[in-house]
Amino acid sequence: GESVGLHLPTLSVQEGDNSIINCAYSNSASDYFIWYKQESGKGPQFIIDIRSNMDKRQGQRVTVLLNKTVKHLSLQIAATQPGDSAVYFCAENIGGAGTASKLTFGTGTRLQVTL
Amino acid sequence: ETGVTQSPTHLIKTRGQQVTLRCSSQSGHNTVSWYQQALGQGPQFIFQYYREEENGRGNFPPRFSGLQFPNYSSELNVNALELDDSALYLCASSMHGETQYFGPGTRLLVL
């Protein structure tokens, strides 16, 4: 498959450690945020989302934190596994929650899990 | 798997040609959005279709056009292809205003 993110920022973590991927978003009017995972040769895969009326949301092994004051979003992955190796994108919804949504994606971070 | 399918998986065209890409949305979804992803970058929003009408457009020229059919499947058409149109084209299906689920993409190479 093709390579995704040839020159992206890279985070290298050891298997079993926790990973934290950060994202700065641009539009203070954005009210819905999503993290996607993209493996080489595949489309983005939904991981977790959060609305602007929340500052934390947890899923299975993943937690998203939202700091609207500094327009910052982070994705925490607990007990990182080799299968977590991928490029991770944050996306913000500019259309407004419950309306037509146009996602704006960040530049992405490559997560490399070492054994 | 999201249930979103795209065809073809890969294709090669030359400058000036026209191309049509196809997307079948996930069962029950009524909205399709199209994105262009250049190598090493995040996806960029092209446009969205809802109830067979264009419902939002990104910063792409008019030679990028689309259709949505009554079964909610969609086409992306690009006329007068340019070298910079080489990219991965992604479609995402959703219920209107809800989470978007992506297909595997179509890799287009323009020579």
Residue of A nearest to B93 (CA): A101
Amino acid at site A57: R
Distance of alpha carbon A106 from alpha carbon A38, whole angstroms: 13
What are the backbone dihedrals phi and psi of residue A84, each rounded to the nearest 5 degrees, phi first? Answer: -85, -10
Q: What's residue B24's pLDDT?
A: 96
The continuous run of DSSP H or E covering B32 comes out as strand B31-37
Torsion angle, alpha carbons of A74, A75, A78, A81, to 10: -130
Residues 6+ apart with CB under 8 A from A115: A14, A15, A82
Chain B contacts to A (CB-CB under 8 A): 2, 4, 31, 33, 35, 39-45, 48, 50, 55-56, 58, 88, 90, 92, 94, 96-105, 107
Q: What's residue B111's pLDDT?
A: 97
Q: What's residue B18's pLDDT?
A: 98
Where does the pLDDT of residue A1 fall: very low under 50, low under 70, confident under 90, or very high at 90 and above? very low
Distance of alpha carbon A60 from alpha carbon A83, whole angstroms: 14
Q: Is the pLDDT of residue A114 over 90?
A: yes
How close, in Å, is residue B96 to chain A by CA atoms? 6
Q: Find, among B14, B17, B15, B21, the residue nearest to B88 by Cα.
A: B21
Average pLDDT rounded to a whole number, residues B38-64: 93
Q: What's residue B30's pLDDT?
A: 92
pLDDT digits (tens, 9 = 90+) for A24-83: 988 888 888 999 999 998 999 999 999 989 999 999 999 999 999 999 999 999 999 999
How close, in Å, is residue B76 to chain A by CA atoms? 17
Residues 6+ apart with CB under 8 A from B99: A34, A46, A49
Across A16-25, A91-100, B11-20, least confident range: A91-100
Query: Among residues of chain B, what percentage have pLDDT more than 90?
Result: 86
Q: Is the pLDDT of residue A96 over 90?
A: no
